[in-house]
A = this chain, B = another copy of it.
């Protein structure tokens, strides 16, 4: 079996031990809520082996692209919500999956689209997207459009879905709990309003990793969607989703230049391998374009961060103190912890999987659309 010294750089490492721990923690957190299921969002991991851990027994999942829907269906995950607003042109593809025995549900907040779903000859169910404060997508629980869309869907209405992406602005467990409660109240209010109008609302779906972990109660919700918790990242570590040691993905990179005069080194992981996500810019600790660990994943390189990126270059500097440049000759290998796992992982074709510190497998990712 290859070692970390043999892998071509840059490449993506996945620590299976951390992944398992993260998956167990979320499963426990959601299990505190009777009647609430976890529907893991596979948009971050985009891999079937990870789905087997997060949704054991080919459980219900969430996807973000048609490519994911097809891939996970092929891998036996039949119960899916495709959680990006559907357009008419994508209905045939969803119906084809469902005719093959899957149950891929779509979401919409649009009356015309609801009519199109109702009129489609193939089997398609839809959830109505509810805006619980993020103002990204959805109708509010009070909006007259909610009832109109439900009426248009008729028996194809499967439920309601909300997303509390604004939970990412929360900075304390109390704030997270408050955002979770606002989301819960909003999506349940929408469900109750529909039920009062005579509609069956089977699924009441809410989600995002922080709220799934920190909600105090989830009464009326039937499932939570969450994804980034599996891999974790520097941003989530700062909003209480997990600790700094719970980040399962890192980018393995090589030093390609060493510059003692300016106390810097250069890595072969840049804007493509790391992404240009700067989400930690607004977090308590700004990690630049990533935190830099040694080959074993330990923080022994001082306060090392990636400070600047070009397409295939990442500049390594010490955020405080100095770099141990004697340990960073050209060819030395380091691991970069990402700001935002969803984006960094998407740049890579596959995971190199570590278990007990040893490489044990390569797992593919379903990138693109």
Residues on A lying within 8 angstroms of B by beta carbon are 5, 8-11, 43, 64-66, 84-90, 108-110, 112-113, 129, 135-138, 165, 254-258, 262, 266, 268, 271-273, 275-278, 308, 310-313, 315, 329-331, 342-343, 346-349, 367-369
Contacts and interface: CB of A to CB of B under 8 A. Distances in A.
B136 A64 contact: no
Q: List the number of copies, as a whole number.
A: 2
B10 A369 contact: yes
Given A311-B343, A329-B112, A137 B85 contact: no
Contacts of A312: 43, 64-65, 84
Contacts of A109: 257
Contacts of A8: 66, 89-90, 369
Contacts of A64: 311-312
A89 B331 contact: yes
B343 A84 contact: no
Contacts of A257: 85, 109-110, 129, 137-138
Contacts of A275: 275-276
A302 to B, nearest CB: 21
B268 A84 contact: yes
**Chain A to chain B: the 4 pairs with minimum beta-carbon distance, closest first:** A85-B256, A110-B330, A87-B331, A87-B254
Contacts of A112: 329-330
A255 B276 CA distance: 25
A330 B113 contact: yes
